[in-house]
A = this chain, B = another copy of it.
Amino acid sequence: MISEKMMPLLRNNSAIRMMFEEGNRLAALYGRENVYDFSLGNPSVPAPPEVNQAIRDVLEEEDTLLVHGYMSNSGYEDVRQAIAQSLNDRFGTGFGARNLIMTVGAASALNIILKAVLNPDDEVLTFAPYFVEYGNYVRNYDGKLVVVPADTETFQPNLAVFRSMINKRTKAVIINTPNNPTGVIYSGETIRSLATILEEKQKEFGTEILLISDEPYRELAYDGIEVPYVTKFYANSVVCYSYSKSLSLPGERIGYVVIPDEVSESRELIAAAAIANRVIGSVNAPSLIQRVIKRCLNAKVNVEAYDRNRSALYDGLTNLGFECVRPQGAFYMWVKSPVEDEKEFCDVCREHHILVVPGSSFACGGYVRIAYCVSYDMIERSMPAFAKVAERYGLNK
């Protein structure tokens, strides 16, 4: 009954599921308060109050048929115009409503762009460690995800190796900044170098290479660090955005893709992406929440709460002797495993009721991801358990 393409996904799924169930199993055995589940990237900070107020206001002030009705597959024009204006104000870009397509989250944004451009066996490059769904998205369109190994010094993209891996089949590059799982933000210098390489390779091969920036964590940046806006660095850029983290609305499936006029064949790509939105079955981004977004362009989640978690966890773990990449954004900490096989480290953590994700799940073994979108209280409570793990490995001497 099941298609051949789905079979490996089915097998892999049981592993993810087991991990999820492990949290529940431990909680049942030892009590929820004695389990430290750092495995999920699910926002712990609620949506800002403007969101629910905007929902009430939309219901009060707008026509029900419009609020719940069909619109263009690209989304409501006034919503897209308002977002474009907001981006222009923030980043000095020149977008109009025509450049935006509202999507069912960033996951759909990535899918419609990949569907619009990929031919079978086209290559898509990305940088380890990376969000493994990229591989599934690319395979949806029979493309091939090619992974540039990590620069484990900085966890900025390894550009020298990247350059050598581009060939005439390279159709796109996916970057994710602020990064899941490392928390690193790609600097302006990095983006500029990356753009230079892409321009050079486009010329060399006479091809168009699309830079796809996956940015669900854009608004979660700390210490005043700026997240460069890629479309200003490289013409063939598109941005996939989501409100899942910036407004804590992951369940609502709301985001957009920006396709600037500067992209090669931009009118056709915009049309193709809108058709793809229809054809993959999304049809359009959910309507009420689109109307809400228009009213919440200046709303912000409580980023300070994540920042506080970040400091507590970073200070706590480094004091215990763990080697951590200091996160600049998102809500993940990337921690070096004290032993080469990080799965063994994960097992030891689990013995102390700490759940973390092995780096091999992001194609980068030897590290683990700790998601700190949790309660501050849980971070504090987890420290004695982490101390025991550190002791086990002789770290805190």
Contacts and interface: CB of A to CB of B under 8 A. Distances in A.
Contact of A70 (B5, B42, B117): B42
Given A10-B272, A64-B47, A281-B280, A253 B286 contact: yes
A137 B210 CA distance: 26
By size class, the interface of chain A is: 35 or more
Contacts of A15: none
A100 interface: no
Given A119-B4, A253-B286, A268 B55 contact: no
B104 A282 contact: yes
A117 B287 contact: no
Interface string A31-66: 000000000101110110001100110010000110
Interface string A104-134: 1101111110011111000000000000010
Interface stretch (A243-251, A316-324, A351-359): A243-251
Interface of A is mostly: helix
A22 to B, nearest CB: 16
A70 B216 CA distance: 15
Contacts of A263: 1
Stoichiometry, copies per complex: 2
B251 A281 contact: no
A288 B71 CA distance: 20
A276 interface: yes
A140 interface: yes
Interface in A170-223: 208, 210
Contacts of A52: 59, 64
Given A69-B42, A133-B279, A2 B289 contact: no
Nearest to A254: B286
B3 A69 contact: no
Residue with the greatest number of chain B CB neighbours at <10 A, chosen from A112, A141, A290: A141
Contacts of A286: 251-253, 286, 289
A99 interface: no
B65 A248 contact: yes
A51 B58 CA distance: 14
Contacts of A140: 279-280
B47 A68 contact: yes
A115 B284 contact: no
A269 interface: yes
B69 A251 contact: yes
B56 A69 contact: no
Contact of A281 (B46, B137, B252): B137
A316 to B, nearest CB: 24
B1 A287 contact: no
A141 B117 CA distance: 16
B2 A68 contact: no
Contact of A6 (B105, B115, B208): B115
Given A3-B115, A253-B284, A279 B10 contact: no
Contact of A282 (B70, B269, B282): B282
Interface string A236-270: 00000000000011111100000000011100110
Residue with the greatest number of chain B CB neighbours at <10 A, chosen from A43, A69, A265: A69
A303 interface: no
Contacts of A88: none
A13 interface: yes
A365 to B, nearest CB: 24
B281 A111 contact: yes
Contact of A116 (B6, B117, B136, B141): B6
Contact of A68 (B118, B248, B279, B288): B248
A133 B278 CA distance: 9
